[in-house]
Amino acid sequence: MLAEFGVRLPEETEIRVWDSTAEVRYLVLAMRPTGTERLGETELAALVTRDSMIGTGLPRAPATEAVGR
């Protein structure tokens, strides 16, 4: 199903699904992309997408100039 969303993960990735069957709601804390160690909160927030907060996508990759040299 993730492939339908264009997401391909390594086979060894552990996948956890939360089905919100009651009124408790969940959101996904987007996984921090590599190469973002020097980014601040605003720059990191710009990488977060809707899909990365519902578990059907990964955050955007940082722009190349933002990657630490």
Partner 1 sequence: MSYRSHSDLGGRTGIGSVIAGAPEREGEVFHSPWEARALALTLAMGATGEWNIDMSRSARETLPDYPSLSYYQIWIAALERLLAERGLVMPDELAAGHALHASRPVARVLRAAEVGTVLRRGSPTQRTRDDAPRFAPGDVVRTRADPVDHHTRLPGYARGKVGRVACCHGAHVFADGSARGLTEPHWLYTVEFEAEELWGADVPGPGRQVVSIDAWEPYLELA
The 35-54 site mask, x for binding partner 1 (CB under 8 A), equals --------------xxx---
Q: Are 9 and 38 in contact (CB under 8 A)?
A: no
Binder among 8, 18, 38, 54 for partner 1 (CB under 8 A): 18
Give the range of 19-27, 32-40, 61-69 binding partner 1 by CB under 8 A: 19-27
Residues in contact with 15: Cβ distance below 8 Å, sequence separation at least 6, in sequence order: 9
Q: Which region holds residue 45: left if phi is over 0, alpha if psi is between -120 and 50, else beta?
A: alpha
Least separation in angstroms between residue 68's CB and partner 1 is 27
